[in-house]
Structure 1
Amino acid sequence: MRYLHDLNVQISQNRRSVSVSKQLDRDLCNQHFDTFETFWGRPGHGARGDNINKLKLDNLLYGASEST
């Protein structure tokens, strides 16, 4: 009986661990999408809207553009 009890405890601990791991993965995924949306300024794919964010990205990657 003790063996059966130990197995049940291990099973419940394993299930709890998997559940916590999945929740952490979902939280990290949501955080990634929130960060991605704020950095690029648009919620989905496609290049619609103003080009301000594209200019900001160009400045980050290649430096400030020189205006003459």
Structure 2
Amino acid sequence: MREKNVAGAFSVKSSSSKMISEARILLVDDVYTTGSTINACSEALKLTGAKKIIAVTLAKTTKLKI
């Protein structure tokens, strides 16, 4: 479901395409849940020609047993 929510949600402005082409990019996400956000962002950047994409998250969700 999360993949569908972010599918096509990210794009690169044409004015930024030249800057991203061949760039190495660091993506920072606050919480890693399913990876859908990072995957969708990475796909948009790859389509624009990013050379390398590295993703870092600050926290990961877990299932709590109460």
Q: TM-score range by the shorter chain?
A: under 0.3
Return the index of the structure with the highest Cα Rg: 1
TM-score when scaled to structure 2? 0.25
User: Which structure shows the higher helix fraction?
Assistant: 1
TM-score (norm 1): 0.25
